[in-house]
Chain A
Protein backbone atom coordinates (compact mmCIF):
# COMPACT_ATOMS: atom_id res chain seq x y z
CA UNK A 1 0.00 0.00 0.00
CA UNK A 2 2.89 2.33 0.86
CA UNK A 3 4.49 1.94 -2.56
CA UNK A 4 1.11 2.27 -4.25
CA UNK A 5 0.43 5.46 -2.31
CA UNK A 6 3.84 6.93 -3.10
CA UNK A 7 3.59 6.26 -6.84
CA UNK A 8 0.00 7.51 -7.12
CA UNK A 9 1.00 10.58 -5.10
CA UNK A 10 4.02 11.25 -7.33
CA UNK A 11 1.87 11.02 -10.47
CA UNK A 12 -0.87 13.24 -9.02
CA UNK A 13 1.78 15.72 -7.88
CA UNK A 14 3.47 15.57 -11.27
CA UNK A 15 0.25 16.43 -13.11
CA UNK A 16 -0.62 19.08 -10.54
CA UNK A 17 2.83 20.58 -10.96
CA UNK A 18 2.01 21.63 -14.56
CA UNK A 19 -0.62 24.26 -13.68
CA UNK A 20 1.56 25.10 -10.67
CA UNK A 21 4.46 25.75 -13.06
CA UNK A 22 2.06 27.84 -15.15
CA UNK A 23 1.13 29.94 -12.13
CA UNK A 24 4.79 30.19 -11.08
CA UNK A 25 5.95 31.29 -14.55
CA UNK A 26 3.19 33.89 -14.93
CA UNK A 27 3.48 35.22 -11.39
CA UNK A 28 7.28 35.04 -11.29
CA UNK A 29 7.59 37.15 -14.45
CA UNK A 30 4.53 39.40 -14.54
CA UNK A 31 3.77 39.64 -10.81
CA UNK A 32 0.11 38.95 -11.61
CA UNK A 33 -1.81 36.18 -9.82
CA UNK A 34 -3.81 34.62 -12.67
CA UNK A 35 -6.70 32.49 -11.39
CA UNK A 36 -8.06 31.86 -14.89
CA UNK A 37 -5.26 29.62 -16.08
CA UNK A 38 -6.94 26.41 -14.87
CA UNK A 39 -10.14 27.20 -16.78
CA UNK A 40 -8.17 28.25 -19.87
CA UNK A 41 -6.17 25.00 -19.60
CA UNK A 42 -9.37 22.93 -19.38
CA UNK A 43 -10.77 24.89 -22.36
CA UNK A 44 -7.66 23.66 -24.25
CA UNK A 45 -8.33 20.15 -22.93
CA UNK A 46 -11.85 20.25 -24.42
CA UNK A 47 -10.42 21.48 -27.76
CA UNK A 48 -7.95 18.58 -27.71
CA UNK A 49 -10.83 16.16 -27.02
CA UNK A 50 -12.79 17.63 -29.97
CA UNK A 51 -9.93 17.00 -32.45
CA UNK A 52 -8.85 13.69 -30.93
CA UNK A 53 -10.59 11.62 -33.60
CA UNK A 54 -8.45 13.24 -36.36
CA UNK A 55 -4.98 12.77 -34.89
CA UNK A 56 -3.79 12.59 -31.27
CA UNK A 57 -0.64 14.62 -31.86
CA UNK A 58 -2.44 17.27 -33.88
CA UNK A 59 -5.24 17.50 -31.29
CA UNK A 60 -2.75 18.09 -28.46
CA UNK A 61 -0.85 20.69 -30.50
CA UNK A 62 -4.08 22.55 -31.38
CA UNK A 63 -5.19 22.59 -27.70
CA UNK A 64 -1.82 23.80 -26.44
CA UNK A 65 -1.41 26.44 -29.19
CA UNK A 66 -4.94 27.80 -28.62
CA UNK A 67 -4.19 28.10 -24.89
CA UNK A 68 -0.91 29.87 -25.60
CA UNK A 69 -2.71 32.36 -27.88
CA UNK A 70 -5.52 32.90 -25.34
CA UNK A 71 -2.99 33.47 -22.54
CA UNK A 72 -1.02 35.84 -24.77
CA UNK A 73 -4.08 37.88 -25.77
CA UNK A 74 -5.62 38.06 -22.26
CA UNK A 75 -2.31 39.34 -20.90
CA UNK A 76 -1.75 41.76 -23.80
CA UNK A 77 -5.16 43.41 -23.96
CA UNK A 78 -6.40 43.10 -20.39
CA UNK A 79 -3.89 42.34 -17.65
CA UNK A 80 -0.82 44.34 -18.75
CA UNK A 81 -2.80 47.60 -19.25
CA UNK A 82 -4.38 47.19 -15.80
CA UNK A 83 -0.98 46.39 -14.30
CA UNK A 84 0.46 49.56 -15.86
CA UNK A 85 -2.32 51.57 -14.20
CA UNK A 86 -1.21 50.15 -10.83
CA UNK A 87 -3.74 47.34 -10.28
CA UNK A 88 -3.26 45.39 -7.04
CA UNK A 89 -3.47 41.65 -6.31
CA UNK A 90 -7.13 41.86 -5.28
CA UNK A 91 -8.10 43.55 -8.54
CA UNK A 92 -6.26 40.88 -10.55
CA UNK A 93 -7.96 38.21 -8.49
CA UNK A 94 -11.38 39.59 -9.48
CA UNK A 95 -10.49 40.24 -13.12
CA UNK A 96 -8.92 36.83 -13.68
CA UNK A 97 -11.83 35.05 -11.97
CA UNK A 98 -14.14 36.94 -14.36
CA UNK A 99 -11.97 35.83 -17.30
CA UNK A 100 -12.36 32.30 -15.92
CA UNK A 101 -16.17 32.72 -15.98
CA UNK A 102 -15.97 33.70 -19.66
CA UNK A 103 -13.93 30.64 -20.65
CA UNK A 104 -16.07 28.30 -18.55
CA UNK A 105 -18.98 29.81 -20.52
CA UNK A 106 -17.17 29.09 -23.81
CA UNK A 107 -16.73 25.43 -22.81
CA UNK A 108 -20.44 25.15 -22.05
CA UNK A 109 -21.50 27.02 -25.20
CA UNK A 110 -19.16 25.36 -27.71
CA UNK A 111 -18.86 21.73 -26.66
CA UNK A 112 -21.76 19.29 -26.70
CA UNK A 113 -20.81 17.49 -23.48
CA UNK A 114 -19.93 19.06 -20.11
CA UNK A 115 -18.08 15.96 -18.91
CA UNK A 116 -15.40 14.31 -21.05
CA UNK A 117 -12.62 11.78 -20.82
CA UNK A 118 -9.60 12.02 -23.12
CA UNK A 119 -8.79 8.62 -24.58
CA UNK A 120 -5.00 8.67 -24.93
CA UNK A 121 -2.84 5.54 -25.47
CA UNK A 122 -1.93 3.86 -22.15
CA UNK A 123 1.55 2.88 -23.46
CA UNK A 124 1.66 -0.50 -21.72
CA UNK A 125 2.42 -1.22 -18.05
CA UNK A 126 5.56 -1.29 -15.94
CA UNK A 127 5.92 -3.70 -12.99
CA UNK A 128 7.53 -2.26 -9.86
CA UNK A 129 7.80 -4.98 -7.16
CA UNK A 130 4.16 -5.74 -6.28
CA UNK A 131 2.81 -2.69 -8.03
CA UNK A 132 1.90 -2.18 -11.71
CA UNK A 133 1.84 1.31 -13.21
CA UNK A 134 0.68 2.40 -16.67
CA UNK A 135 3.42 3.71 -18.95
CA UNK A 136 1.25 6.75 -19.64
CA UNK A 137 1.38 7.80 -15.99
CA UNK A 138 5.15 7.55 -15.98
CA UNK A 139 5.23 9.70 -19.13
CA UNK A 140 3.03 12.28 -17.35
CA UNK A 141 5.46 12.43 -14.41
CA UNK A 142 8.56 12.56 -16.61
CA UNK A 143 6.96 15.26 -18.75
CA UNK A 144 6.26 17.40 -15.67
CA UNK A 145 9.81 17.04 -14.36
CA UNK A 146 11.24 17.57 -17.86
CA UNK A 147 9.19 20.77 -18.31
CA UNK A 148 10.59 22.13 -15.07
CA UNK A 149 14.15 21.44 -16.18
CA UNK A 150 13.50 22.96 -19.63
CA UNK A 151 12.03 26.12 -18.13
CA UNK A 152 14.99 26.44 -15.78
CA UNK A 153 17.44 25.91 -18.69
CA UNK A 154 15.52 28.44 -20.82
CA UNK A 155 15.71 30.93 -18.01
CA UNK A 156 19.43 30.51 -17.42
CA UNK A 157 20.82 30.02 -20.93
CA UNK A 158 18.68 31.85 -23.49
CA UNK A 159 18.16 35.48 -24.42
CA UNK A 160 14.44 35.28 -23.77
CA UNK A 161 15.09 33.63 -20.39
CA UNK A 162 17.44 36.42 -19.42
CA UNK A 163 14.87 39.01 -20.45
CA UNK A 164 12.33 37.16 -18.23
CA UNK A 165 14.68 37.39 -15.28
CA UNK A 166 15.48 41.04 -15.94
CA UNK A 167 11.80 41.96 -16.28
CA UNK A 168 10.84 40.20 -13.06
CA UNK A 169 13.73 41.81 -11.15
CA UNK A 170 13.52 45.41 -12.40
CA UNK A 171 10.76 46.38 -14.78
CA UNK A 172 11.77 50.03 -15.28
CA UNK A 173 15.42 49.22 -15.96
CA UNK A 174 14.40 46.43 -18.33
CA UNK A 175 12.31 48.88 -20.35
CA UNK A 176 15.20 51.32 -20.33
CA UNK A 177 17.65 48.80 -21.83
CA UNK A 178 15.18 48.05 -24.63
CA UNK A 179 13.51 44.82 -23.46
CA UNK A 180 9.98 44.62 -24.85
CA UNK A 181 8.44 43.96 -21.45
CA UNK A 182 4.86 43.84 -22.75
CA UNK A 183 5.84 41.05 -25.10
CA UNK A 184 7.76 39.23 -22.37
CA UNK A 185 4.67 39.34 -20.13
CA UNK A 186 2.41 38.10 -22.91
CA UNK A 187 4.73 35.19 -23.80
CA UNK A 188 5.01 34.23 -20.12
CA UNK A 189 1.23 34.24 -19.81
CA UNK A 190 0.93 32.18 -23.00
CA UNK A 191 3.42 29.61 -21.71
CA UNK A 192 1.64 29.46 -18.34
CA UNK A 193 -1.71 28.74 -20.01
CA UNK A 194 -0.13 26.20 -22.39
CA UNK A 195 1.35 24.35 -19.37
CA UNK A 196 -2.05 24.39 -17.70
CA UNK A 197 -3.49 22.89 -20.90
CA UNK A 198 -0.99 20.00 -20.82
CA UNK A 199 -1.89 19.47 -17.15
CA UNK A 200 -5.58 19.42 -18.09
CA UNK A 201 -4.94 16.90 -20.91
CA UNK A 202 -3.15 14.53 -18.51
CA UNK A 203 -5.85 15.06 -15.88
CA UNK A 204 -8.61 14.47 -18.44
CA UNK A 205 -6.94 11.27 -19.55
CA UNK A 206 -6.41 9.82 -16.06
CA UNK A 207 -9.66 11.04 -14.48
CA UNK A 208 -12.10 13.22 -16.46
CA UNK A 209 -12.70 16.89 -17.33
CA UNK A 210 -15.86 18.73 -16.26
CA UNK A 211 -16.95 22.36 -16.39
CA UNK A 212 -15.69 22.82 -12.83
CA UNK A 213 -12.33 21.05 -13.39
CA UNK A 214 -10.74 24.32 -14.53
CA UNK A 215 -11.44 25.95 -11.20
CA UNK A 216 -10.23 22.89 -9.29
CA UNK A 217 -6.98 22.82 -11.29
CA UNK A 218 -6.54 26.60 -11.20
CA UNK A 219 -7.25 27.12 -7.51
CA UNK A 220 -5.29 24.03 -6.54
CA UNK A 221 -2.45 25.08 -8.83
CA UNK A 222 -2.42 28.50 -7.25
CA UNK A 223 -2.51 27.33 -3.65
CA UNK A 224 0.14 24.70 -4.26
CA UNK A 225 2.27 27.45 -5.84
CA UNK A 226 1.65 29.65 -2.78
CA UNK A 227 2.70 26.83 -0.45
CA UNK A 228 5.89 26.34 -2.45
CA UNK A 229 6.58 30.08 -2.40
CA UNK A 230 4.71 31.78 -5.22
CA UNK A 231 6.92 32.55 -8.21
CA UNK A 232 9.49 30.01 -6.98
CA UNK A 233 9.53 27.23 -9.61
CA UNK A 234 11.44 24.66 -7.49
CA UNK A 235 9.27 25.41 -4.46
CA UNK A 236 6.16 24.93 -6.60
CA UNK A 237 7.41 21.57 -7.87
CA UNK A 238 8.29 20.26 -4.39
CA UNK A 239 5.00 21.53 -3.03
CA UNK A 240 3.06 19.83 -5.87
CA UNK A 241 4.75 16.49 -5.19
CA UNK A 242 4.09 16.76 -1.44
CA UNK A 243 0.47 17.72 -2.05
CA UNK A 244 0.09 14.81 -4.48
CA UNK A 245 1.30 12.47 -1.70
CA UNK A 246 -1.06 14.06 0.82
CA UNK A 247 -4.00 13.57 -1.56
CA UNK A 248 -2.98 10.02 -2.33
CA UNK A 249 -2.53 8.88 1.29
CA UNK A 250 -5.54 10.76 2.68
CA UNK A 251 -7.61 9.16 -0.09
CA UNK A 252 -6.36 5.67 0.89
CA UNK A 253 -6.65 6.15 4.65
CA UNK A 254 -9.79 8.26 5.04
CA UNK A 255 -11.66 7.92 1.74
CA UNK A 256 -11.98 10.15 -1.32
CA UNK A 257 -14.37 12.63 0.29
CA UNK A 258 -11.73 13.66 2.86
CA UNK A 259 -8.94 14.07 0.25
CA UNK A 260 -9.55 17.76 -0.52
CA UNK A 261 -10.47 18.63 3.09
CA UNK A 262 -7.13 17.30 4.38
CA UNK A 263 -5.25 18.96 1.51
CA UNK A 264 -6.77 22.40 2.11
CA UNK A 265 -6.40 22.03 5.87
CA UNK A 266 -2.66 21.35 5.49
CA UNK A 267 -2.28 24.22 3.02
CA UNK A 268 -4.00 26.61 5.45
CA UNK A 269 -1.70 25.41 8.25
CA UNK A 270 1.40 25.89 6.07
CA UNK A 271 0.30 29.40 5.15
CA UNK A 272 -0.30 30.24 8.81
CA UNK A 273 3.07 28.84 9.92
CA UNK A 274 5.15 29.92 6.89
CA UNK A 275 3.27 32.69 5.04
CA UNK A 276 6.00 32.93 2.37
CA UNK A 277 5.75 29.23 1.51
CA UNK A 278 8.14 26.29 1.90
CA UNK A 279 11.05 27.77 -0.07
CA UNK A 280 10.03 31.41 0.20
CA UNK A 281 8.63 33.66 -2.49
CA UNK A 282 10.80 35.39 -5.05
CA UNK A 283 8.19 38.13 -5.17
CA UNK A 284 5.87 39.45 -2.50
CA UNK A 285 2.12 39.42 -2.90
Chain B
Protein backbone atom coordinates (compact mmCIF):
# COMPACT_ATOMS: atom_id res chain seq x y z
CA UNK B 1 0.00 0.00 0.00
CA UNK B 2 2.87 2.34 0.92
CA UNK B 3 4.45 1.54 -2.45
CA UNK B 4 1.15 2.41 -4.13
CA UNK B 5 1.06 5.86 -2.46
CA UNK B 6 4.68 6.40 -3.47
CA UNK B 7 3.79 5.77 -7.12
CA UNK B 8 0.74 8.06 -7.05
CA UNK B 9 2.78 10.71 -5.22
CA UNK B 10 5.50 10.49 -7.86
CA UNK B 11 3.00 11.03 -10.69
CA UNK B 12 1.42 13.92 -8.75
CA UNK B 13 4.76 15.65 -8.22
CA UNK B 14 5.65 15.17 -11.87
CA UNK B 15 2.42 16.83 -13.00
CA UNK B 16 2.94 19.95 -10.83
CA UNK B 17 5.03 21.86 -13.43
CA UNK B 18 1.96 21.98 -15.67
CA UNK B 19 1.18 25.09 -13.63
CA UNK B 20 4.22 26.81 -15.21
CA UNK B 21 2.52 26.48 -18.60
CA UNK B 22 0.27 29.36 -17.53
CA UNK B 23 3.24 31.64 -16.79
CA UNK B 24 5.71 30.63 -19.52
CA UNK B 25 9.13 32.27 -19.56
CA UNK B 26 12.48 31.03 -18.27
CA UNK B 27 11.06 28.76 -15.55
CA UNK B 28 8.94 26.90 -18.07
CA UNK B 29 11.85 26.58 -20.47
CA UNK B 30 14.18 25.14 -17.81
CA UNK B 31 11.49 22.81 -16.44
CA UNK B 32 10.93 21.36 -19.91
CA UNK B 33 14.67 20.83 -20.23
CA UNK B 34 14.81 19.09 -16.82
CA UNK B 35 11.94 16.81 -17.86
CA UNK B 36 13.61 15.86 -21.14
CA UNK B 37 16.62 14.74 -19.13
CA UNK B 38 14.34 13.06 -16.63
CA UNK B 39 13.08 10.77 -19.43
CA UNK B 40 16.70 9.72 -20.02
CA UNK B 41 17.25 9.48 -16.25
CA UNK B 42 14.37 7.03 -15.96
CA UNK B 43 15.89 5.00 -18.81
CA UNK B 44 19.15 4.80 -16.81
CA UNK B 45 17.16 3.96 -13.67
CA UNK B 46 15.46 1.09 -15.47
CA UNK B 47 18.32 -0.43 -17.47
CA UNK B 48 21.29 0.12 -15.15
CA UNK B 49 19.90 0.21 -11.64
CA UNK B 50 16.80 -1.98 -11.89
CA UNK B 51 17.78 -4.43 -14.63
CA UNK B 52 21.47 -4.53 -13.69
CA UNK B 53 22.72 -3.97 -17.26
CA UNK B 54 26.01 -2.05 -17.36
CA UNK B 55 24.98 0.35 -20.13
CA UNK B 56 26.47 3.84 -20.62
CA UNK B 57 25.29 4.73 -24.11
CA UNK B 58 22.39 7.01 -23.12
CA UNK B 59 23.67 10.00 -25.09
CA UNK B 60 24.03 7.72 -28.14
CA UNK B 61 20.46 6.40 -28.09
CA UNK B 62 19.20 9.91 -27.38
CA UNK B 63 21.28 11.29 -30.28
CA UNK B 64 20.02 8.60 -32.66
CA UNK B 65 16.47 9.69 -31.86
CA UNK B 66 17.32 13.37 -32.24
CA UNK B 67 19.45 13.28 -35.40
CA UNK B 68 17.24 10.58 -36.96
CA UNK B 69 14.19 12.80 -36.49
CA UNK B 70 15.86 15.82 -38.12
CA UNK B 71 17.49 13.92 -41.00
CA UNK B 72 14.35 11.95 -41.90
CA UNK B 73 12.12 15.02 -41.65
CA UNK B 74 14.37 17.61 -43.29
CA UNK B 75 16.35 15.59 -45.83
CA UNK B 76 14.02 12.70 -46.67
CA UNK B 77 10.87 14.80 -46.11
CA UNK B 78 9.14 12.13 -44.03
CA UNK B 79 6.22 13.15 -41.78
CA UNK B 80 7.51 14.31 -38.37
CA UNK B 81 5.80 11.69 -36.22
CA UNK B 82 6.88 8.86 -38.51
CA UNK B 83 10.46 10.16 -38.42
CA UNK B 84 10.40 10.20 -34.62
CA UNK B 85 8.99 6.68 -34.45
CA UNK B 86 11.45 5.22 -36.98
CA UNK B 87 14.40 6.91 -35.20
CA UNK B 88 13.15 5.59 -31.86
CA UNK B 89 12.91 2.11 -33.37
CA UNK B 90 16.51 2.30 -34.58
CA UNK B 91 17.96 3.21 -31.16
CA UNK B 92 17.18 -0.22 -29.59
CA UNK B 93 18.81 -1.91 -32.60
CA UNK B 94 22.08 -0.27 -31.51
CA UNK B 95 21.51 -1.21 -27.83
CA UNK B 96 20.66 -4.84 -28.56
CA UNK B 97 23.51 -5.22 -31.08
CA UNK B 98 25.92 -3.88 -28.47
CA UNK B 99 24.52 -6.27 -25.87
CA UNK B 100 24.76 -9.29 -28.20
CA UNK B 101 28.27 -8.30 -29.31
CA UNK B 102 29.53 -8.06 -25.74
CA UNK B 103 27.77 -11.15 -24.48
CA UNK B 104 31.09 -12.91 -23.80
CA UNK B 105 32.34 -10.04 -21.65
CA UNK B 106 31.27 -9.31 -18.10
CA UNK B 107 30.55 -6.35 -15.90
CA UNK B 108 32.71 -3.31 -16.36
CA UNK B 109 34.00 -4.36 -19.81
CA UNK B 110 30.45 -4.12 -21.14
CA UNK B 111 30.20 -0.68 -19.53
CA UNK B 112 33.43 0.30 -21.24
CA UNK B 113 32.18 -0.67 -24.70
CA UNK B 114 28.99 1.37 -24.38
CA UNK B 115 30.97 4.21 -22.77
CA UNK B 116 33.40 4.18 -25.72
CA UNK B 117 30.44 4.36 -28.07
CA UNK B 118 29.33 7.45 -26.12
CA UNK B 119 32.81 8.96 -26.64
CA UNK B 120 32.93 7.97 -30.31
CA UNK B 121 29.45 9.12 -31.37
CA UNK B 122 30.02 12.90 -31.16
CA UNK B 123 33.26 12.42 -33.14
CA UNK B 124 31.25 10.54 -35.78
CA UNK B 125 28.74 13.39 -35.86
CA UNK B 126 31.65 15.82 -36.39
CA UNK B 127 33.10 13.62 -39.13
CA UNK B 128 29.71 13.56 -40.90
CA UNK B 129 29.49 17.35 -40.71
CA UNK B 130 27.89 17.70 -44.15
CA UNK B 131 24.76 15.89 -42.95
CA UNK B 132 24.77 16.53 -39.20
CA UNK B 133 26.19 20.04 -38.99
CA UNK B 134 28.92 18.78 -36.60
CA UNK B 135 29.77 21.29 -33.88
CA UNK B 136 27.77 24.03 -35.61
CA UNK B 137 24.69 21.85 -35.26
CA UNK B 138 21.30 21.72 -36.93
CA UNK B 139 18.28 23.91 -36.30
CA UNK B 140 14.83 22.33 -36.28
CA UNK B 141 11.44 23.92 -35.87
CA UNK B 142 9.65 20.53 -35.74
CA UNK B 143 6.58 20.32 -33.54
CA UNK B 144 6.69 23.94 -32.39
CA UNK B 145 5.75 24.96 -35.94
CA UNK B 146 2.53 22.92 -35.67
CA UNK B 147 1.44 23.08 -32.04
CA UNK B 148 3.38 25.99 -30.52
CA UNK B 149 5.92 26.05 -27.71
CA UNK B 150 3.45 26.03 -24.79
CA UNK B 151 1.55 22.96 -26.05
CA UNK B 152 4.86 21.21 -26.69
CA UNK B 153 5.88 21.95 -23.09
CA UNK B 154 2.64 20.34 -21.82
CA UNK B 155 3.30 17.38 -24.11
CA UNK B 156 6.83 16.98 -22.73
CA UNK B 157 5.46 16.93 -19.16
CA UNK B 158 2.74 14.42 -20.02
CA UNK B 159 5.12 12.13 -21.93
CA UNK B 160 7.60 12.23 -19.03
CA UNK B 161 4.80 11.24 -16.63
CA UNK B 162 3.80 8.39 -18.95
CA UNK B 163 7.44 7.22 -19.17
CA UNK B 164 7.87 7.31 -15.37
CA UNK B 165 4.52 5.54 -14.86
CA UNK B 166 5.43 2.94 -17.49
CA UNK B 167 8.77 2.13 -15.87
CA UNK B 168 7.29 1.91 -12.38
CA UNK B 169 4.49 -0.28 -13.77
CA UNK B 170 6.82 -2.59 -15.65
CA UNK B 171 8.95 -3.18 -12.55
CA UNK B 172 5.84 -4.60 -10.89
CA UNK B 173 5.10 -7.05 -13.73
CA UNK B 174 6.54 -10.53 -14.18
CA UNK B 175 9.12 -9.14 -16.65
CA UNK B 176 10.16 -6.46 -14.15
CA UNK B 177 10.49 -9.00 -11.35
CA UNK B 178 12.65 -11.24 -13.52
CA UNK B 179 14.82 -8.24 -14.45
CA UNK B 180 15.22 -7.46 -10.73
CA UNK B 181 16.21 -11.07 -10.18
CA UNK B 182 18.76 -10.84 -13.02
CA UNK B 183 20.23 -7.69 -11.49
CA UNK B 184 20.46 -9.43 -8.09
CA UNK B 185 21.96 -12.68 -9.35
CA UNK B 186 22.25 -13.40 -13.05
CA UNK B 187 23.62 -16.95 -12.70
CA UNK B 188 21.00 -17.99 -10.17
CA UNK B 189 18.27 -16.67 -12.47
CA UNK B 190 19.68 -18.79 -15.29
CA UNK B 191 19.97 -21.77 -12.98
CA UNK B 192 16.25 -21.73 -12.23
CA UNK B 193 15.54 -22.07 -15.95
CA UNK B 194 14.80 -18.48 -16.94
CA UNK B 195 16.01 -17.38 -20.37
CA UNK B 196 17.92 -14.33 -19.11
CA UNK B 197 19.13 -13.36 -22.58
CA UNK B 198 15.52 -12.90 -23.73
CA UNK B 199 14.71 -10.63 -20.79
CA UNK B 200 17.89 -8.62 -21.21
CA UNK B 201 17.03 -8.06 -24.89
CA UNK B 202 13.56 -6.91 -23.80
CA UNK B 203 15.14 -4.50 -21.30
CA UNK B 204 17.58 -3.06 -23.87
CA UNK B 205 14.78 -2.74 -26.44
CA UNK B 206 12.51 -0.85 -24.05
CA UNK B 207 15.34 1.40 -22.89
CA UNK B 208 16.44 2.08 -26.47
CA UNK B 209 12.97 2.94 -27.77
CA UNK B 210 12.20 5.32 -24.91
CA UNK B 211 15.62 6.96 -24.95
CA UNK B 212 15.40 7.41 -28.75
CA UNK B 213 11.90 8.87 -28.51
CA UNK B 214 13.12 11.15 -25.72
CA UNK B 215 15.90 12.30 -28.06
CA UNK B 216 13.36 13.09 -30.78
CA UNK B 217 11.31 15.05 -28.29
CA UNK B 218 14.47 16.84 -27.07
CA UNK B 219 15.32 18.21 -30.50
CA UNK B 220 11.71 19.30 -31.06
CA UNK B 221 11.73 21.19 -27.75
CA UNK B 222 15.18 22.78 -27.94
CA UNK B 223 14.99 23.40 -31.70
CA UNK B 224 18.70 22.70 -32.08
CA UNK B 225 21.25 19.93 -31.67
CA UNK B 226 25.00 19.73 -32.18
CA UNK B 227 27.76 17.25 -31.32
CA UNK B 228 28.44 19.32 -28.16
CA UNK B 229 24.96 18.43 -26.81
CA UNK B 230 25.69 14.70 -27.01
CA UNK B 231 29.25 14.64 -25.67
CA UNK B 232 30.26 11.93 -23.25
CA UNK B 233 29.37 14.23 -20.31
CA UNK B 234 25.73 14.04 -21.37
CA UNK B 235 25.84 10.30 -20.75
CA UNK B 236 27.49 10.92 -17.37
CA UNK B 237 24.88 13.51 -16.35
CA UNK B 238 22.09 11.11 -17.35
CA UNK B 239 23.69 8.31 -15.37
CA UNK B 240 24.11 10.63 -12.35
CA UNK B 241 20.34 11.40 -12.31
CA UNK B 242 19.15 8.14 -10.67
CA UNK B 243 22.46 7.69 -8.87
CA UNK B 244 22.33 11.04 -7.08
CA UNK B 245 18.56 11.00 -6.60
CA UNK B 246 18.49 7.44 -5.28
CA UNK B 247 17.74 4.40 -7.37
CA UNK B 248 15.80 2.47 -4.73
CA UNK B 249 12.68 4.68 -4.90
CA UNK B 250 10.48 5.65 -7.84
CA UNK B 251 10.85 9.38 -7.26
CA UNK B 252 14.65 9.22 -6.88
CA UNK B 253 15.32 10.25 -10.52
CA UNK B 254 13.12 13.35 -10.05
CA UNK B 255 15.36 14.63 -7.23
CA UNK B 256 18.40 13.56 -9.24
CA UNK B 257 17.30 15.46 -12.37
CA UNK B 258 16.58 18.58 -10.32
CA UNK B 259 20.01 18.28 -8.75
CA UNK B 260 22.01 17.47 -11.89
CA UNK B 261 20.32 19.95 -14.23
CA UNK B 262 19.47 22.76 -11.81
CA UNK B 263 22.76 22.91 -9.88
CA UNK B 264 24.60 24.15 -13.00
CA UNK B 265 21.85 26.78 -13.47
CA UNK B 266 22.31 27.94 -9.86
CA UNK B 267 26.08 28.06 -10.27
CA UNK B 268 25.93 30.41 -13.29
CA UNK B 269 26.99 33.46 -11.16
CA UNK B 270 30.20 31.62 -10.21
CA UNK B 271 30.69 30.17 -13.69
CA UNK B 272 34.49 30.25 -13.38
CA UNK B 273 34.35 27.91 -10.35
CA UNK B 274 31.41 25.88 -11.62
CA UNK B 275 33.26 22.60 -12.28
CA UNK B 276 34.98 22.70 -8.87
CA UNK B 277 31.67 23.04 -6.99
CA UNK B 278 29.95 20.57 -9.29
CA UNK B 279 32.63 17.90 -8.81
CA UNK B 280 32.87 18.48 -5.04
CA UNK B 281 29.08 18.28 -4.61
CA UNK B 282 29.05 14.97 -6.50
CA UNK B 283 31.87 13.54 -4.39
CA UNK B 284 30.23 14.66 -1.15
CA UNK B 285 26.82 13.24 -2.11
CA UNK B 286 28.27 9.93 -3.30
CA UNK B 287 30.52 9.51 -0.27
CA UNK B 288 28.13 10.80 2.43
CA UNK B 289 24.84 9.59 0.91
CA UNK B 290 25.70 6.40 -0.99
CA UNK B 291 22.00 5.47 -1.40
CA UNK B 292 21.25 8.85 -3.00
CA UNK B 293 19.27 11.89 -1.90
CA UNK B 294 15.74 10.44 -1.76
CA UNK B 295 16.37 7.52 0.66
CA UNK B 296 18.51 9.79 2.85
CA UNK B 297 15.76 12.42 3.05
CA UNK B 298 13.27 9.63 3.77
CA UNK B 299 15.46 8.35 6.63
CA UNK B 300 15.84 11.87 8.02
CA UNK B 301 12.06 12.46 7.98
CA UNK B 302 11.49 9.10 9.68
CA UNK B 303 13.99 10.05 12.37
CA UNK B 304 12.27 13.41 12.96
CA UNK B 305 8.85 11.71 13.14
CA UNK B 306 10.11 9.12 15.66
CA UNK B 307 11.63 11.89 17.75
CA UNK B 308 8.32 13.83 17.76
CA UNK B 309 6.37 10.73 18.72
Q: Which of B109, B272, B282 meets A94, CB within 8 Å?
A: B282
Contact residues in A for B82 (Cβ distance below 8 Å):
none
B272 closest partner in A (C-beta): A109
Interface size of A as a range: 35 or more
A257 to B122, CA, bound (A): 11
Contact B283 A105 (CB under 8 A): no
Q: Determine, out of B35-43, B110-118, B164-172, the stretch whose residues face the partner at the interface.
A: B110-118
Is the CB–CB distance between A271 and B112 below 8 Å? yes
Query: In the complex, A175→B307 CA distance in Å?
Result: 43
Q: Is the CB of A82 within 8 A of B102?
A: no
What sequence of 0s and 1s flags, for each residue 263-285 of chain A, a beta carbon within 8 Å of any chain B beta carbon? Answer: 01101100110010000000001
The answer, yes or no, to whether A258 is at the interface (CB within 8 Å) is yes
Contact partner, B116, options A90, A267, A275, Cβ 8 Å: A267
Contacts of B101 in A (CB 8 A): 272
Contacts of B113 in A (CB 8 A): 268, 271-272
Asked if A106 and B108 sit within 8 Å, CB to CB, the answer is: no
Q: Is A49 an interface residue (CB 8 A)?
A: no
| Residue numbers in B under 8 Å from A108 (CB-CB) | 272-273, 275
Contact of B107 among A89, A97, A258 (CB under 8 A): A89
CB atoms of A261 and B105 under 8 A apart: no
| Contact status B54-A261, CB under 8 Å | no
Restricting to A61-116, which residues have a CB under 8 Å from any CB of B?
78, 82, 89-91, 93-95, 97-106, 108-109
Are A272 and B279 in contact, with the CB atoms below 8 A?
Answer: no
Given contacts A98-B279, A105-B279, contact A271 B105 (CB under 8 A): yes
- Chain A residues 251-265 with CB under 8 Å of chain B are 257-258, 260-261, 264-265
A105 engages B278 (CB within 8 Å): yes
Q: Which residues of A contact B129 (CB under 8 A)?
A: 257
How far is B284's CA from A78's CA once the two chains are assembled, in angstroms?
A: 11
Number of CB contacts from chain A to chain B under 8 A: 105
Chain B residues lying within 8 Å of A97, measured Cβ to Cβ, are 236
Indicate if A16 sits at the interface (CB-CB under 8 A): no
Bound CA–CA A275/B54 (angstroms) = 15
Q: Which residues of A contact B192 (CB under 8 A)?
A: none
Please, which residues of chain B bring their CB within 8 A of the CB of A265?
Answer: 120
Residues of B within 8 A of A82 (CB): 287
Residue of A nearest to B240 (CB): A94
Q: Given the complex, which residues of B lie within 8 Å of A100, measured CB to CB?
A: 279
Chain B residues near A94 (CB-CB < 8 A)? 239-240, 243, 282, 286
A264 and B116 form a contact (CB under 8 A): yes
Residue contact B273 to A105, C-beta cutoff 8 Å: yes
A5 on the B face (CB < 8 A): no
> Digit string of B116-152 for contact with A (CB within 8 Å is 1, else 0)?
1101100110110100000000000000000000000
The contact of A105 among B109, B124, B277, by CB within 8 Å, is B277
Q: Which residues of B contact A241 (CB under 8 A)?
A: none
- Check B280 for interface membership: any CB of A closer than 8 A: yes
Cβ of A105 and Cβ of B116 under 8 Å apart?
A: no
Is B275's CB under 8 angstroms from A101's CB? Answer: yes
Confirm or deny: A219 has a beta carbon within 8 angstroms of a beta carbon on chain B.
Answer: yes
The closest CB in chain A to the CB of B117 belongs to A268
**B26-85 interface (Cβ within 8 A of A):** 54
Q: Does A23 contact B (CB under 8 A)?
A: no
A-B contact pairs, 12 of them (CB 8 A): A82-B287, A90-B108, A98-B279, A101-B282, A105-B273, A105-B276, A223-B112, A271-B102, A271-B113, A275-B106, A275-B109, A285-B107
Residues of A within 8 A of B (CB): 33, 78, 82, 89-91, 93-95, 97-106, 108-109, 215, 219, 223, 226, 257-258, 260-261, 264-265, 267-268, 271-272, 275, 285
Given A93-B111, A257-B123, 4 other A-B residues pairs in contact with their CB atoms under 8 A: A105-B277, A109-B272, A264-B120, A272-B102
Chain B residues with CB under 8 Å of chain A are: 54, 101-102, 104-109, 111-113, 116-117, 119-120, 123-124, 126-127, 129, 232, 236, 239-240, 243, 272-280, 282-283, 286-287
